[in-house]
Amino acid sequence: MGDENDLFSVAMLIDELKNENVQLRLNSIRRLATIATALGPERTRTELVPFLTDSNDDEDECLLAIAEELANLIPKVGGPEHAHVLLAPLENLATVEETVVRDKAVAAACAVGEAMTSEGATTHYVPCVQRLANGDWFTARVSACGMFAVAYRKVADAGVRSDLRKTYAQLCADETPMTRRAAAQHLGAFAGEIEPEHVRGEIMTLFKQLTTDEQDSVRLLAVEDCAKLGKILPREECVADVVPVVKKFAADKSWRVRYMVAQQLYELCESIGADIAREELLPSYEQLLMDGEAEVRIASAGGVSSFCALVGAAAAGEKIIPRVKELASDGSQHVRAALASVIMGLAPTMGKDQTIEQLLPIFLTLLKDEFPEVRLNIIAKLDQVNHVIGVDLLSQELLPAIKDLAEDIHWRVRLAIIEYIPLLASQMGTSFLFQKSEADGGDQLNALCLQWLSDRVYSIREAAAVNLQKLAEVFGAEWAKTHIMPKVMELMANPHYLYRMSVIKTMTLLAGCVGQELCMTEILPALKAAAKDRVPNVRFSVAKAFGDIASALDRGVVEGEIKPILNELGGDADADVRFFAQQSIATCEAKA
């Protein structure tokens, strides 16, 4: 009976894989591991895998799914000894036109190669790699490049390894730029598996060859090899052979190459050490910060904090900070935003005096930036500068920036600044957040709380309620009673029912952090009054709120104060009100 079921499953699978409906074929492919388990290792090897090898599905989505599932079949075909049978369908997938499918097939093939024994890899995996590397179509050769590192690591025979190095050299000189790009992309990983003497000889020859390629798409991928080779080579050889290439790349005629250098430079500097980085590569980094292309300046600005920490305060103050000052007023808002996201991290490196003297003016400039993301990025990282100089020196500029962001036309900007308020409160204390506003005579936080709780966007109102909860957690119940509750309660009289619902949400969140006394004196009376609201949405919000706050109250309060109101709401004319009231009653009873 079991064999019949197995045959039935395979027959169904084959029929579904031939079906014109793509979704049906995908569902079948996702069940390959289950089918293989039912078939057992031998029949999976002799029936299922050959069927997948011969499959002529032309839908990229299905091919991608097959590539993903094949890696999961290693234990299903009998483990490492038989894993090589999976290479046949993967070899086919590694030659298709769609890049995503090929990449997934290569990843799966590498997983299969890793699972194989050294003998199995020599017998099956290396020939597969060589066939792909000598394929007629560039797609096969591109895929082969990603498989060399595993092949080299798994085999021990010196002759086989020599053949692999020679084949890779052919790929680095391939007539198609796509193949050379792939060879450049994987050269670092391949070099990591090769013996040091061959790295210094053959691999460095290939590296220099790729760095002078006429195609900028090849050269920019060779940039990634600089940092990888820097970790493999002895420091002296890295300085002699890799650093000059990086310097040349930093001045490359292609902005894409310079962009890649800006992204990879810190990793290379880290591998060669601070002294050499300061002497050899600091001028190149300074040059990249002043690059004519905004994309290059963005990438360079993103690493300014890490780079300054590496080279030290003295070198940073002399060479980098002047360029940073220029970037703070860069014509591209994206450059300024990238700088704002990391510049606060300079404070620990520069120290208190230099931060006040050199960085503080830059902070203030960015806090006044017209682009909201720039101001947000500065405010988000205030904790880094607070540890060094405190934020009192920024306080006069912070409040206007926060207020402008709180009123920004884009709701996502308003949402972002709300999320930073608790962080500011914990760092700066209530004395800052409750400074009096010269414009209206009121304190800033109360005005912002009212503004956010009555925002036209629901996400803002919800975030405002969470914000007040976090502030109450930071400063305690007494502070909440004095500074939050009165202003929140004012909104209960708002004619717009959505804003009244925001207040109910706020009180529900506050109940868990202000204690039972404040719940009894402030929150519970307000909710009782709201239970008689004319709008059903408000009433069912109250019903939900009672269930949520029951955990913060004693059993006697729940029985004597909350359940009678919920019972009353349970007989409401509105079905939703009755539903949520019954849910909360069940919650209250579970508390017993």
Each residue's pLDDT, cut to its tens digit, for the chain (592 residues) gives: 445 455 445 566 666 666 566 777 787 778 888 888 888 888 888 888 888 887 766 677 888 888 888 888 888 888 888 888 899 989 998 998 888 999 999 999 999 998 888 888 899 999 999 999 998 899 999 999 999 999 999 888 899 999 999 999 999 999 999 999 999 999 989 998 988 888 888 899 999 999 999 999 999 898 888 888 888 888 888 888 889 999 999 999 999 999 999 988 888 888 888 888 888 889 999 999 999 999 999 999 999 999 999 989 899 889 999 999 999 999 999 999 999 999 988 888 888 888 888 888 888 888 888 888 888 888 878 777 777 776 666 666 677 777 777 778 888 888 888 887 887 777 666 665 555 544 443 456 556 767 788 888 899 899 989 988 888 888 888 888 887 888 788 888 888 888 889 989 999 998 888 888 888 888 888 888 899 999 999 999 999 998 888 877 888 888 888 889 889 998 999 999 999 999 988 888 876 5
Any domain includes 530? yes
Any domain includes 553? yes
Any domain includes 389? no
- Name the packing angle between helices 411-433 and 444-453 (round to 10°): 150
Any domain includes 558? yes
Report the pLDDT value the prediction gives residue 444, as an integer from 0 to 100: 60
What whole-number distance in Å separates Cα of residue 276 and Cα of residue 278? 5
Tally of domains in the chain = 1
Report the pLDDT value the prediction gives residue 1, as an integer from 0 to 100: 40
Any domain includes 35? no
What whole-number distance in Å separates Cα of residue 501 and Cα of residue 52? 58
What whole-number distance in Å separates Cα of residue 347 and Cα of residue 279? 23
Any domain includes 582? yes
Any domain includes 60? no
b/e burial code for range 126-136 (CB count within 10 A of at least 16 → b): bebbbebbebe
pTM above 0.85, yes or no: no
What CA–CA distances, in Å, run from 499 to 45, 73, 192, 458? 65, 56, 61, 9
Report the pLDDT value the prediction gives residue 10, as an integer from 0 to 100: 58
Report the pLDDT value the prediction gives residue 257, as an integer from 0 to 100: 92
The CATH number covering residue 530 comes to 1.25.10.10
Any domain includes 192? no
User: Where in the sequence is the domain holding 552, given as residue range(s)?
Assistant: 491-591
> Taking Cα atoms as reference points, which of 490, 414, 425 lies closest to residue 458?
414
What CA–CA distances, in Å, run from 374 to 313, 359, 369, 516? 25, 16, 6, 42
